Amino acid sequence: MDIAEVLKHTSPELFLPNLTATDKQGALAEMVEGLIAGTQISKPETIMQMLTSREALGSTAVGPGIGFPHGRTLAVQRLTIMIARSAEGVDFDSEDGNKTHLFFMLIAPPQDSGHQYIKSLAALIDRIQDGDLRDSLMAAENYESFCNAMKED
């Protein structure tokens, strides 16, 4: 899947450039709060419960320095992607023990039959392997330059 296609599921309202939380629960809560504020989605507790269960299955910080909290829930009607960043880093139980600085949170509805969100996850993970890109994303001044960096070849 094309990165531009994946980015259609996010928006400037779903970009949190400076997370304040430094622990996993706090960071998830801050992202869910941002999701509720930036969309028509309600029911934050349902989304939190799903994300917390997903982290119990295994940390979604698959790095390097990046986390992909994800899952399906009845609380959303369509795939929605939240982007968040932390200069200080969040303790997200990553396998390498390092802090997580960048998050792509993918929330999909249960009836996502074509596994669109897994394809989006795969495209993001593939794209983010580029170390120079990760530096540009951390430095990007706003949503637009973040997305432009993502789309650049």
Partner 1 sequence: MHPQLQLLVALQDLDEMINETANQGTELEGLGFKHGGLEELKKSREDLATKIEPGHLSWYKRLTGKFGHAVVPVVSNLCTGCFANIPSSFVSKTNENKVQKCESCGRLLYWP
Calculate ∠ Cα 62-89-67, nearest 5°: 25
73 residue type, one letter: T
Contact between 7 and partner 1 per CB under 8 A: no
115 touches partner 1 by CB under 8 A: yes
The yes or no reply on residue 16 touching partner 1 (CB under 8 A) is no
DSSP structural state of residue 107: E
According to CB under 8 A, which residues from 57 to 96 bind partner 1? 57-60, 62-63, 68, 71-77, 95
Contacts of residue 102, defined as CB under 8 A and 6 or more positions apart, other chains included, come to 65, 66, 67, 83, 84, 85, 86, 128, 134, 137, 138
Angle between helices 24-38 and 44-57 (to 10 degrees): 140
- Contact between 36 and partner 1 (CB under 8 A)? no
- For partner 1, the binding residue among 56, 87, 97, 153 (CB under 8 A) is 56
**Which residues bind to partner 1, rule: CB under 8 A?**
41-43, 45-46, 49-50, 53-54, 56-60, 62-63, 68, 71-77, 95, 110-111, 115, 118, 121-122, 125
